[in-house]
């Protein structure tokens, strides 16, 4: 998993690429807590992320939920279908601070 961030005025841009799986969860959690948490306007590019398992999606969902609860606005660019579906199922898409742009559709089954 590759993680990067840059400030664009008041906006924080985060890019994630690679396989999001249980083995990368600690890295993602630490990155989020050190670099992302506490920012008001966060744009996350997920177009190069491949989801490997439900545990990793649960960890990312928790990080997103915590950021929203802290008052952040989150825009997710090209989130994987599994993440978009989880956000829908959990009711998080009703949160006014969460925007999904161009969620991926009909990804091939990885199992």
pLDDT-flagged residues of the chain (< 70): 106-111
What domains sit in the chain, N to C, each tagged with a CATH number?
A: 2-101 (3.30.750.24)
What's the confidence (pLDDT) of residue 109? 55
Per-residue pLDDT reduced to its tens digit, 33-57:
999 999 999 999 999 999 878 999 9
- Residue 15 makes CB contacts below 8 A (sequence gap 6+) with 2, 3, 4, 5, 44, 45, 48
């Amino acid at each position: 998993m590759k993680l990067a961030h840059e400030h664009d005025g008041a906006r924080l841009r985060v890019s994630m690429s690679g396989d999001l799986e249980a083995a990368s969860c600690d890295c993602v959690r630490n990155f989020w807590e050190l670099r992302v948490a506490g920012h008001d306007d966060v744009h996350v590019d997920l177009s190069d992320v491949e989801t490997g398992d439900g545990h990793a999606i649960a960890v990312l969902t928790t990080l997103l939920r915590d950021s929203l609860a802290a008052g952040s606005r989150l825009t997710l660019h090209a989130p994987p279908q599994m993440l978009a579906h989880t956000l829908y199922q959990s009711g998080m898409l009703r949160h006014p601070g969460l925007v999904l742009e161009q969620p991926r559709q009909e990804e091939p089954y990885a199992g």
